[in-house]
């Protein structure tokens, strides 16, 4: 009896873990598909779109997650296949360092101009 | 057919009167007396454009398909309301509307500026006519709304169904009033530069126009995002889509101008900066038109595009920018009075800090919108700049912005000797830190930036509520708008971190659990309603307190053109929205059902309305003070 109870508890526990594990997978799928552009729609993410392309992409993402690939690896595969256009989260590389850097640079420049005007004013 | 001809010829007469007004005003400028004819001609010009606009409306109402615009964008069995709103739901018609607002505003400006310096008035008129002539030419050359089709087609192609919506029907006109108001600010600041009239009294007068455009722009953006929320079917209200950005940029610029003009009005400096902001606001509005109309942007809004139009607007834009730069550098003189002592602890400096941050936010959005276009042209590489980019660059700075905003606005002009209520500031800061900590712990989100933003926005909400009841500060409009802004950020943030959703494929009779709620798919109805076929699902949601909510999301299959739209069913209350939308899965009895819980959604709209109410009160006060 004891053994049976143990098995039942174990099965239930395993079940529980697999459920939470599945949920985690779902969350990851949602997270990834929200960050991908639906290439045949206008301005919609894979997650929001119901087009054939989006549906097959969602299946692909699920499959890749089941294969044990991480989020980054999935992006890498997709970028190789479809180009950087597909990812909403712009990466930082030699093409985009200006994009990321320029606003911050302008912020400090603006600050410097304001300081100069205030401190070094001719009175 | 007859309205078509009337419309076309009144446009040409309108252009002719524009040219005459331009010449007359140049003459008046020399002799320093305003020719009375200018007033009647301005009215006539407005009247011509109005006639033209109404003839287009009539063409749409009677479904005159010999008109190309009507043929492309209307259909005889569309409801009358959308026939009318279809007038400006397309490129040609919306430009005509733009022109209508331009001429109306110029006429209003002429009436309401009677007490001002004559030459300044005439010059504003001249610059405004340059813009009007440019738009007349644009309409007539590249996008004539009255092109005649022969033989007359029997039926039109129809208006894109996702544009057939009440919020979207009034969204363009309101947004345009905001944009066009910026053109008056642009012209008058150029005129003031030439006449060396940038002064306290100019600031007082121009502030009315700034407020008017700001109010309309705010409402216009809000309507657009309300529409996106319930119509586009993903339950989001802001996607950092290029076209959304393009409307937000002039808004940020105008907000900066609204604050900076106060310094000019009270302290008579920051003149150069005011002029630069005025020029930038209008340039950004024009840029918006260019980017949307040229079809360069890939977005939901791109419903009309044609490269020749893009080139026309781009060259016109360059012409205006170069003209304003030349005028600015030739005529602008810095006066001696500009050099006054400025103290760090003063309202002036806190407004400067506000402008500094606003310009940073503007540059993030501008670069984020334009950079992908440039990169594609230069290196032929396509990248996406999406919501994560904007969140990462804006949120950290927004935290500091909001902290400054809780202290700065209460400073005195010239010099603040001691920061008032230091104790209260610190107390509220710790209170909001404590509350955020408890709250975030409870919902299990402890992301660094979100936590800090929550602290900063809660703090600002507390401070603005406290200010609201303090009797020392009388500026009621400021109190409301600042409170509105703090509430806006807080509700967007809470909405963002607390939203939850689930997507399932279901058929009739299925049910599923989502958190503490249970969702049943009860039944399905098919209906034929004049220009679309409707499939309505019937859902029941039962929450843990046994409250029952009934949802009836709808799928509409329009015939002309054949498009499927999903109409979400949304249950709104003060604590949040429940949002249910269905989509058909091809060749299957299953439906794709998405159920979302979006906390504090209505507060986003309420707080935007508070911003608008604040602005309106200020406008009301201005108007009656005069």
For B155-173, how does the pLDDT look when each residue is reduced to its tens digit (9 = 90+)? 888 777 777 788 888 888 8
B382 in contact with chain A, both atoms CB, cutoff 8 A:
yes
Query: What pLDDT, in 10s, does the model give residues B591-619?
Result: 888 888 999 999 999 999 999 999 999 98
Taking the model in full, what pTM does it have? 0.90
Residues A8 and A61 placed together within one structural domain of the fold: yes
> What pLDDT is attached to residue A22?
45
What average pLDDT is seen over chain B?
A: 86
- DSSP character at residue B360: H
Q: What is the domain count for chain B?
A: 3
pLDDT score of B105 more than 60: yes
Query: What pLDDT, in 10s, does the model give residues A33-87?
Result: 888 888 877 677 888 777 788 888 888 888 888 888 888 888 888 888 888 888 8
Residues A96 and A62 placed together within one structural domain of the fold: no
A18 confidence band (pLDDT: 50, 70, 90): very low
B176 within domain boundaries: yes
Residues A84 and A96 placed together within one structural domain of the fold: no
Backbone torsions φ then ψ of B16, nearest 5 degrees: -60, -45
End-to-end Cα separation, chain B, in angstroms? 48
Residue B359 to chain A, least CA–CA distance (Å): 8
Residues A27 and A76 placed together within one structural domain of the fold: yes
Look up the domain containing B344 and give its range. Answer: 166-420
Q: How does B125-157 read in b/e, with b if 16+ C-beta sit within 10 Å?
A: bbbbbbbbbbbbebbbebbbbbeebeeeeeebe
B233 in contact with chain A, both atoms CB, cutoff 8 A:
yes
Instruction: Tell me the two tokens of residue B484.
Output: 């509105």
Q: Which of B383, B581, B595 is most worth mutating to test chain A (most A CB atoms within 10 A of its CB)?
A: B383
Query: What pLDDT, in 10s, does the model give residues B32-78?
Result: 777 788 888 999 999 999 999 999 999 999 988 888 888 888 888 88
Residues A112 and A65 placed together within one structural domain of the fold: no
Look up the domain containing A62 and give its range. Answer: 2-89
Residue B273's alpha-carbon distances to A2, A121, B37, B71, B344, in angstroms, are 82, 16, 36, 47, 18
Instruction: Tell me the two tokens of residue B554.
Output: 């709808």
Query: What pLDDT, in 10s, does the model give residues B212-261?
Result: 999 999 999 999 999 888 887 677 888 888 888 989 999 999 999 999 99
Residue B339's alpha-carbon distances to B93, B192, B334, in angstroms, are 49, 20, 10
B302 confidence band (pLDDT: 50, 70, 90): very low
> What pLDDT is attached to residue A5?
66
Closest by Cα among B286, B250, B430, B259 to B352: B259
Residues B270 and B341 placed together within one structural domain of the fold: yes
Q: Do A103 and B384 touch (CB under 8 A)?
A: no
Check if the beta carbon of residue B349 is closer than 8 Å to that of residue A118.
Answer: yes
DSSP code per residue over A34-56: HTBB-TTSSS-BTTT--SHHHHH
Query: What pLDDT, in 10s, does the model give residues B493-551?
Result: 999 888 888 888 888 888 888 888 888 888 888 888 877 888 898 999 988 888 888 89
Which position has the higher pLDDT, B579 or A21?
Answer: B579
Q: Do B359 and A110 touch (CB under 8 A)?
A: yes
pLDDT score of A122 more than 60: no
Long-range contacts of B548-552 (CB under 8 A, 24+ apart): B549/B578, B551/B578, B551/B580
Residues A46 and A59 placed together within one structural domain of the fold: yes
Contacts of B280 in chain A (CB under 8 A): none
Residues B144 and B205 placed together within one structural domain of the fold: no
Pairing of strands B517-529, B511-514: antiparallel
Pairing of strands B563-567, B554-558: antiparallel
> What pLDDT is attached to residue A20?
43
Domain boundary among B122, B138, B164: B164
Rounded to an integer, the average pLDDT of B567-588 is 84
Domain boundary among B420, B442, B471: B420
Residues A27 and A85 placed together within one structural domain of the fold: yes
Residues A58 and A109 placed together within one structural domain of the fold: no
CATH classification of the domain holding A38: 1.10.8.640
> What pLDDT is attached to residue B300?
43
When CB atoms are compared, the residue of A44, A85, A88 closest to B388 is A88
B446 within domain boundaries: no
Contacts of A87 in chain B (CB under 8 A): 384, 386
Q: What is the domain count for chain A?
A: 2
Question: Beta strands of B369-507 (E only): which ranges?
Answer: 500-506
> What pLDDT is attached to residue B338?
53
- Max mean pLDDT among B53-67, B306-320, B462-476 falls in B53-67
3-class DSSP assignment, residue B524: strand
Which position has the higher pLDDT, B276 or B624?
Answer: B276
Domain boundary among B126, B147, B164: B164
């Amino acid at each position: 009896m004891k053994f049976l109870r143990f098995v039942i508890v174990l099965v239930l526990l395993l079940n529980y873990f697999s459920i939470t594990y599945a949920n985690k997978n779902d969350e990851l799928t949602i997270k990834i598909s929200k960050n991908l552009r639906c290439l045949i729609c206008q301005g919609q993410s894979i997650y929001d779109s119901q087009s054939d392309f989006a549906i097959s992409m969602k299946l692909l993402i699920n499959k890749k997650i089941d294969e044990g690939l991480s989020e980054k690896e999935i992006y890498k595969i997709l970028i190789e296949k479809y180009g950087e256009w597909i990812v909403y989260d712009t990466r930082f590389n030699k093409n985009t360092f200006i994009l990321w850097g320029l606003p911050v640079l302008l912020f400090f420049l603006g600050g410097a101009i304001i300081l100069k005007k205030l401190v070094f004013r001719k009175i | 057919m007859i309205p078509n001809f009337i419309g076309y010829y009144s446009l040409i007469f309108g252009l002719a009167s524009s040219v005459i007004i331009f010449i007359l005003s140049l003459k008046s400028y020399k002799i320093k007396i305003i020719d009375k004819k200018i007033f009647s001609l301005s009215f006539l010009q407005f009247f011509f454009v109005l006639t033209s606009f109404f003839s287009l409306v009539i063409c749409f109402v009677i479904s005159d398909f010999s008109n190309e615009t009507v043929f492309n964008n209307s259909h005889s069995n569309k409801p009358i309301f959308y026939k009318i709103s279809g007038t400006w739901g397309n490129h040609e018609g919306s430009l005509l509307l733009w022109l209508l607002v331009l001429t109306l505003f110029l006429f209003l400006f002429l009436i309401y500026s009677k007490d001002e310096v004559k030459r300044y008035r005439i010059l504003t008129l001249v610059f405004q006519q340059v813009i009007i002539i440019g738009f007349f030419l644009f309409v007539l050359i590249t996008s004539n709304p009255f092109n005649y089709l022969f033989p007359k087609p029997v039926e039109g192609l129809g208006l894109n169904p996702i544009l057939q919506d009440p919020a979207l029907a009034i969204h363009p006109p309101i947004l345009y009033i905001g944009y066009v108001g910026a053109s008056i600010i642009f012209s008058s600041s150029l005129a003031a530069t030439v006449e060396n009239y940038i002064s306290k009294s100019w600031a007082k007068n121009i502030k009315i126009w700034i407020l008017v455009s700001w109010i309309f722009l705010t409402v216009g953006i809000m309507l657009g995002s309300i529409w996106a929320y319930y119509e586009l079917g993903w339950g989001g209200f802001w996607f950092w889509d290029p076209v959304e950005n393009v409307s937000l940029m002039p808004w940020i610029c105008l907000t900066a101008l609204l604050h900076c003009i106060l310094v000019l009005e009270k302290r008579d400096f920051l003149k150069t900066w005011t002029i630069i902001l005025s020029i930038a606001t209008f340039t950004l509005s024009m840029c918006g038109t260019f980017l949307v109309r040229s079809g360069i942007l890939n977005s939901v809004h791109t419903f009309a595009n044609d490269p020749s139009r893009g080139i026309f607007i781009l060259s016109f834009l360059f012409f205006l920018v170069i003209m304003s730069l030349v005028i600015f550098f030739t005529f602008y003189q810095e006066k001696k009075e500009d050099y006054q002592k400025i103290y760090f602890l003063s309202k002036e400096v806190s407004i400067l800090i506000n402008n500094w941050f606003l310009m940073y936010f503007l540059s993030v959005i501008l670069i984020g919108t334009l950079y992908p276009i440039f990169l594609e042209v230069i290196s032929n590489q396509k990248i996406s700049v999406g919501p994560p980019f904007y969140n990462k660059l804006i949120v950290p700075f927004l935290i500091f912005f909001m902290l400054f905003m809780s202290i700065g606005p209460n400073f005195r002009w010239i010099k603040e000797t001691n920061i008032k209520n230091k104790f209260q500031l610190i107390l509220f800061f710790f209170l909001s830190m404590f509350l955020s900590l408890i709250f975030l712990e409870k919902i299990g989100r402890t992301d660094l930036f979100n936590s800090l933003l929550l602290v900063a926005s809660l703090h600002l909400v507390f401070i603005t509520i406290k200010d609201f009841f303090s009797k020392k500060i009388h500026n009621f409009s400021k109190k409301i708008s600042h409170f509105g802004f703090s509430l806006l950020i807080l509700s967007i943030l809470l909405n963002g971190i607390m939203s939850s959703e689930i997507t399932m494929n279901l058929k009739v009779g299925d049910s599923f659990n989502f958190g503490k709620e249970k969702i049943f798919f009860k039944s399905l109805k098919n209906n034929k309603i004049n220009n679309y076929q409707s499939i309505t699902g019937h859902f029941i949601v039962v929450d843990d307190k046994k409250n029952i909510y009934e949802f009836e999301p709808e799928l509409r299959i329009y015939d002309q053109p054949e498009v499927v739209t999903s109409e979400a069913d949304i249950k709104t209350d003060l604590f949040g929205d429940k949002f249910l939308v269905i989509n058909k899965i091809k060749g299957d009895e299953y439906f794709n059902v998405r159920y979302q819980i979006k906390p504090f959604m209505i507060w986003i709209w309420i707080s935007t309305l508070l911003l608008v109410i604040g602005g309106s009160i200020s406008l009301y006060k201005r108007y009656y003070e005069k």
